[in-house]
Amino acid sequence: MRFRPIALSAFFSLPVAALFVGLLVSFGYGPSTAQETGQKTAQENQVVNVYSYRQPFLVEPLFAQFTAETGIQVKVIFAKKGLIERVKTEGKRSPADVILTVDIGRLHAAREVAQPVRSAILTRHIPARARGTDDTWFGLTWRARVAYVSRSRVPETDLSFADLADPQFRGRICLRSGQHPYNIALFAALLEHMGEARFTDWLTGLKANLAGKPSGNDRAQVRKVYGGACDIAIGNTYYMGKMQTNEKKPVQQDWAKSVRVVFPDMPRGGAHMNLSGMAMAKYAPNRANAQKLMEFLVSAAAQKTYAEVNFEYPIRADIAASVRVQSWGSFTPDTLSLNKIAALRGRASEIVDEVSFNLGP
């Protein structure tokens, strides 16, 4: 886990043994005398503390803009894992106000450390299927899980997820671990659409069509298509943008050129959608400021920036995706509620193991 300051705030490096206490002190929750408490200024209260799984390059510009508009400073902890567990451990003394994360599974898990937020702004701009039924989590951006198909070896321009289990694709599909949260969300959606028996048969067919044992991340699957190991890779849409614009590793631009994006339909129509999102921590010490930040993140300006930088689709229907993202093609999104997907993730995961999916064909 690493701590990274943004332009208007910073965390100080502390010995590991004193990390927890030190963070509480830095947020104003450590031991203090009555005099120190009485001397807190209004400026010190103008802060919001964020625990973020989202990368710094994506959210720091937004936080700087929020501070410029409101005067509220944003303090951030960035990490790849463990933040929700951290909030649980900190309990009522947690300094966390807002939690930013990705994937419906992680958002659903965040409910345990979140509180409901009643906001007309959030309700107006975020569709019901993209927020928790108990108002404990809210979507910020959409991402579709799609097929990256070889330009030279796959003539099909229209595929369904059902097609991917057809014997015509035997040995031609690459996929990361079936237990990865992105795939579990996809499988949970298909489980809802198909029912358990049909879904199990489909997953068995998909397994038979794999080019090898599932491994690597989404971009690695596209690399395999580029190298000829398979013809179709499954991945999230924004990876196309990341590859197309990768100046540090320009070979990834070649990977992107070797494929095109196809939006497979779910059994009842529409492309599978997942999201990134946010939640307000259960014991948020700066609740009013936290709500202001959450509402800012669904503003028109923030939505444009958020979606543009990470090549995602705005959660707001009235904000268009970037020109680059639109160039990948148009599609109709699946309207299945993310709450239903979250509820079926556990069973989908069990079926993945029951068919020994990760052992490969």
Could you give the dihedral angle defined by the CA atoms of residues 113, 116, 121 and 123, in that order, rounded to the nearest 10 degrees?
Answer: 110
Q: Contact, 177 vs 215, CB < 8 A?
A: yes
pLDDT band at 39 (very low <50, low <70, confident <90, very high): very low
At residue 47, φ and ψ (nearest 5 deg) are -145, 155
Q: Report the distance separating Cα 315 and Cα 304, nearest Å.
A: 10
pLDDT tens digits along 152-167: 999 988 999 999 999 9
Q: Report the distance separating Cα 61 and Cα 241, nearest Å.
A: 19
pLDDT of residue 8 exceeding 90, the answer is no
- Closest by CA to 203, choosing from 169, 235, 161, 237, is 161
pLDDT of residue 314: 97
When pLDDT is averaged across residues 137-149 and rounded to a whole number, the result is 97
Pairing of strands 273-281, 98-102: antiparallel
pLDDT above 90 covers a percentage of the chain that reads: 82
**Secondary structure of the chain in HEC code, one letter for each residue:** CECCCECCECCCCCCHHHHHHHHHHHCCCCCCCHHHHHCCCHHHHCEEEEEECCCHHHHHHHHHHHHHHHCCEEEEEECCCCHHHHHHHHHHHCCCCEEEEECHHHHHHHHHHEECCCCHHHHHHCCHHHECCCCCCEEEEEEEEEEEEECCCCCCCCCECHHHHCHHHCCCEECCCCCCHHHHHHHHHHHHHHCHHHHHHHHHHHHHCECCCCCCCHHHHHHHHHHCCCCEEEEECHHHHHHHCCCCCCHHHHHHHCEEEECCECCCCCECEEEEEEEEECCCCCHHHHHHHHHHCCCHHHHHHHHHHHCCEECCCCCCCCHHHHCCCCCCECCCCHHHHHHHHHHHHHHHHHCCHHHCC
pLDDT tens digits along 72-106: 999 999 988 899 999 999 999 999 999 999 999 99
* Largest interatomic CA distance in the chain: 75
pLDDT of residue 356 exceeding 90, the answer is yes
Tokens 């700087």 label which residue? 64
The overall average pLDDT reported for the chain is 89
pLDDT band at 306 (very low <50, low <70, confident <90, very high): confident
Domains within the chain, CATH numbers bracketed = 16-142+274-325 (3.40.190.10), 144-272+328-359 (3.40.190.10)
Pairing of strands 259-262, 138-150: antiparallel
- 57 vs 214, higher pLDDT: 214
Q: Report the distance separating Cα 247 and Cα 240, nearest Å.
A: 14
pLDDT band at 41 (very low <50, low <70, confident <90, very high): very low
pLDDT tens digits along 115-136: 999 999 999 999 999 999 999 9
pLDDT of residue 307: 82
- Closest by CA to 228, choosing from 289, 281, 171, is 171
Q: Contact, 139 vs 125, CB < 8 A?
A: no
- Closest by CA to 149, choosing from 333, 356, 351, 329, is 329
Can you say whether the dihedral through the CA atoms of 58, 128, 333, 174 is positive or negative? positive
pLDDT of residue 67: 97
Q: Contact, 104 vs 274, CB < 8 A?
A: yes
pLDDT of residue 352: 98
pLDDT of residue 80: 86
- Structure tokens, 42: 């209004």
pLDDT of residue 3 exceeding 90, the answer is no
Q: Contact, 169 vs 150, CB < 8 A?
A: no
- The answer for 216, left when phi > 0, alpha when psi is -120 to 50, beta otherwise, is left
pLDDT of residue 24 exceeding 70, the answer is no
* Residue 307, strand partner residues: none
pLDDT of residue 292 exceeding 80, the answer is yes
302: amino acid identity, one letter: A
pLDDT tens digits along 166-203: 999 999 999 999 999 999 999 999 999 999 999 999 99
